[in-house]
Amino acid sequence: MQSSNAINYDYTVAKYFTISAIVLGIVGMSVGVLIAFQLAFPELNNLFGEYGTFGRLRPIHTDGVAFGFTVSGIFATWFYVGQRVLKVSMAESKFLMFIGKLQFWLYIIGVAVAVVSLALGYTTSKEYAEFEWPVDIAIVVVWVLWGVSIFGLIGIRREKVLYISVWYYIATFLGVAMLYVFNNMEVPTYFVSGMGNWFHSVSMYAGSNDAMVQWWYGHNAVAFVFTVPIIAMIYYFLPKESGQPVFSYKLSLLSFWGLMFVYLWAGGHHLLYSTVPDWVQTMASIFSIILILPSWGSAINMLLTMKGEWGQLKENPLVKFYVLASTFYMLSTLEGPIQAIKSVNALAHFTDWIPGHVHDGTLGWVGFMIIGAIFHMAPRMFKKEIYSKKLVEAQFWLQTTGIVMYFTSMWISGITQGMMWRATDQYGNLAYSFIDTVEVLHPYWTLRAVGGSFYLIGVFMWAYNIYKTATSSKAIEKEPQYATPMA
């Protein structure tokens, strides 16, 4: 078998998606900080007329971070990791190189159209599935092209054994493809009725069926965009950066199949105390609790990978990113099942505790892993050392502070909300009006916005460090085997 050092890997497409991850991360998170401040200071809704209101900007934030920053990070890491673990270069196949570049440019066009359409108010009003049918078709085409790249590289690989990360990337492709197609089955109203705009559509599902399909999709978008591909990343980048072998390959496989079988049944916990059948709600709660096992299996496997090597946390800031990402993953995947318990959900549902849970996962787990992965990739793609180690350290601590401020303020405000909403006086009437809760929660919403600002500043620091690394940092003669070189 040809050694990995003898293969001239082509990172052209990986670089493209690295740039889009950075740019879309800045855009999506900047909008997120703005709407966080809008919640605390409603007059900020008037900055840009109808185009600057919370309702218009919120889907741009969620989709920009989920399908912009995160999906770009998934694509970037695949086009880097895929070549290396399969021992084959993109340059060896003109067809795969063409497919990769086509995927990128169609993706960028799709993102641009999606952002403009959402800004103009064209939306299906389904969370994480707001796009009208023409954009949905473009997304499916981009996703199919990625599948061609995945299975194309696998087809010409030199390495017989598929490393666990490849399993997770394949699962990401298959899972999202199934979820997206079925949830976004729509009827273009103009072509059926001859009335309205040509790009408008309505869901093929209605009522409780629509709700169940939507949250089967919505929660599993968390599974196959925010969880499965990020696990693929940490199974590659933590061992590669630390020089430590994965603690248990068997545990990685056990956790993989556990996630595949359990996650798909948990989406109904978004619909507790709704009109969907009670057995659906109960089943979702049970599977949500079971989900702790495979989730913690992956996280513990990663933490035990560092057994005996914890000293690296002092010297290597990238190991800090990976280890804390695993810790946030453990926290988030314990918190979610707790919220899915019916008695807890009665207090938590519709409160700030829910976005608090979402963001300790997305900022701590997803964000830290993509940031850390691209820091690892950059010197190997650009043949230069990281521009500033001090800047990486400062970014890590600033963003960690921001995350802690964010989720603790949301925990406190969420539980306060739930308690105030259900409080009654001696006559059985509600003790507080809605505006009473708003006044009490204002300091926590302000703290959340400040924490988000800290994290966003860290993203700008990351972007600057990567830019300086690519353009003016010191060249490295030989690719580092493990720890990433930093100035």
Note the pLDDT tens digit of each residue in 261-285. Answer: 999 999 999 999 999 999 999 999 9
In tens, the pLDDT along 221-248 reads 999 999 999 999 999 999 999 999 999 9
pLDDT of residue 314 exceeding 90: yes
Residues 56, 425: Cα–Cα separation, whole Å: 38
Distances (CA, A) of 174 to 170, 201, 260: 6, 25, 11
Is 27:65 a contact under the CB 8 Å cutoff? no
3-state secondary structure of 195: coil
Reported as a pLDDT band with limits 50, 70 and 90, residue 184 is very high
pLDDT digits (tens, 9 = 90+) for 399-410: 999 999 999 999
- DSSP 8-class letter at 186: E
Structure tokens at 466: 């990567």
In which band, very low, low, confident or very high, does the pLDDT at 101 lie, cut at 50, 70 and 90? very high
pLDDT tens digit string along 62-84?
999 999 999 999 999 999 999 99
Read off the pLDDT of each residue in 143-162 and give the average, rounded to a whole number: 97
Res 6: pLDDT: 73
Instruction: Read off the pLDDT of each residue in 53-69 and give the average, rounded to a whole number.
Output: 96
Q: What is the pLDDT of residue 2?
A: 42
Asked whether residue 3 carries a pLDDT value surpassing 80, the answer given is no
Q: Are 384 and 84 in contact (CB under 8 A)?
A: no
Tell me which amino acid residue 200 is: H
Strand, coil or helix: 201: strand
Task: Sort 213 into a burial class: Cβ within 10 Å, 0-12 / 13-18 / 19+.
Answer: buried
User: Looking at residue 1, what is its pLDDT?
Assistant: 35
**Cβ burial 343-370 (10 Å sphere, 16+ → b, else e):** ebbebbbebbbbbbbbbbbbbbbbbbbb
- The owner of tokens 């209605």 is 206
* Structure confidence at residue 5 (pLDDT): 54
**Secondary structure class of 187 (helix, strand, coil):** strand
pLDDT band at 4 (very low <50, low <70, confident <90, very high): very low
Whether residue 298 contacts residue 252, with contact meaning beta carbons closer than 8 Å, is answered with yes
Burial of 425 (C-beta count, 10 Å sphere; 0-12/13-18/19+): exposed
Structure tokens that stand for 372 in this block: 């850390």
Say if residues 423 and 431 touch (Cβ distance below 8 Å): yes
In 3D, which of 363, 472, 341, 466 has the Cα closest to residue 407?
363
pLDDT at residue 102, rounded to an integer: 98
Q: What is the mean pLDDT of the chain?
A: 95
Q: Which pTM was predicted? A: 0.95
| CA 483 to chain CA mean position, Å | 25
Amino acid identity of residue 49, one-letter, is G
d(CA 322, CA 317): 9
φ, ψ of residue 58 in degrees (nearest 5): -60, -45
Instruction: Find the range with the poorest average confidence among 79-88, 198-207, 369-378, 446-455.
Output: 198-207
